Structure 1
Amino acid sequence: MYILKCNNGLYYTGSTINLDQRLIQHEAGEGAIFTRKHLPVQLVYFEKFSRIDEAFGREKQIQGLSRAKKEALIKGDFELLVQLSKSKK
């Protein structure tokens, strides 16, 4: 599961069994329609899972987060992530 930052500052979250190959596809404009429209992209976060269904589940969870929560996760600021969760932002 990975998060890309697009050239317009928006985040794209995806999952794959081969991150290196998927990044090449995104950078070549062969990835998701969203990232094709917002090239270039930069990998800003990833997590490894032993099963793709677990990665897909985590992808969906992260897609539901606010921008502030995604940025706290990307920065590794878990204290802020907890605070944001408590304040429901």
Structure 2
Amino acid sequence: MEFKQKKVTVEGVEYTLQKLPIRKALEIRQKWTLPNGTTSDLIMYEECLKHIVVEPKVKIDDFEELYELELLVGECLTFQFLEKKKKTSKDK
């Protein structure tokens, strides 16, 4: 199964993101949600880099600045969980 992909540029570096199937996306989101309902940033960042960022493959330690990592993970979360399909005239 081929996943929908999107290219984003963060601080001059181009990344390819992939949109996971809904079940897989919910499973990884559950990993970073702690029992008290808060989010583990570390687990969230690791899971996004591992499963959503396709190219180049990067890890947390590859980033020199936290804001660069946060920008990339923000792109991942928006693409995976917040973007809606745009309706076309065929969808009516």
TM above 0.5, one fold?
A: no
User: Normalising by structure 2, what TM-score?
Assistant: 0.28
- TM-score after normalising by structure 1: 0.28
Structure whose alpha-carbon radius of gyration is higher: 2
